[in-house]
Homo-oligomer: A and B are copies of this chain.
């Protein structure tokens, strides 16, 4: 069940990555690379830092097939019609929630401290999108605005906290997904955002 959700999140992230690549007028190969990186980048960095050798998509190439297929389909379909951005945002929020829980869960399985499990959850959820933005020549969006990573953080904290209280994993996962999903959808709906760094340094802007 969680495996199927994971593959669903992989496909969704590959689609959002491919669309971002398309906006930069990349060729087919570029679209597939950005799709793969968006879908697999977070989990890859998580596995590398945790010391999970080899990384998950080498142990199970299904992830590669799902992400590549989603990217190629996006490339093909985008010639004929636009993607509905509302549906995509909700699907992306769902993918974020799933990836966050899976990352935190995997870290706990490695016996890490709770704070590390939270970081691994966020890393799994947001790093793919960050690399996507860097490869597209942009400052990563999640660093600049909107409650995106914060939704991931909240779900990861919830999951790690619940895991210490009860072994009912199915319940813990469901509640943590709801937290991330609810926060993220609320942020989209009401355009919530965190405070921005105060403008502080006219003298420093040329550093």
Contacts and interface: CB of A to CB of B under 8 A. Distances in A.
A200 B194 CA distance: 31
Q: How many copies does the complex hold?
A: 3
A149 B194 contact: no
A79 interface: yes
Given A25-B199, A196-B26, A54 B49 contact: yes
A20 B82 CA distance: 37
Contacts of A196: 25-27
Contact of A58 (B50, B136, B207): B50
A197 B78 contact: yes
A143 interface: yes
A75 B200 CA distance: 10
Interface of A: 19-31, 33-34, 44, 48-51, 53-55, 57-58, 61, 64-65, 75, 78-79, 82, 85, 110, 112-113, 115-116, 119, 130, 134-140, 142-145, 149-150, 153, 193-201, 203-205, 207
Contacts of A58: 49-51, 112-113, 116
A141 to B, nearest CB: 8
Contacts of A194: 27-29
Contacts of A137: 138-139
B136 A64 contact: no
Contacts of A75: 197
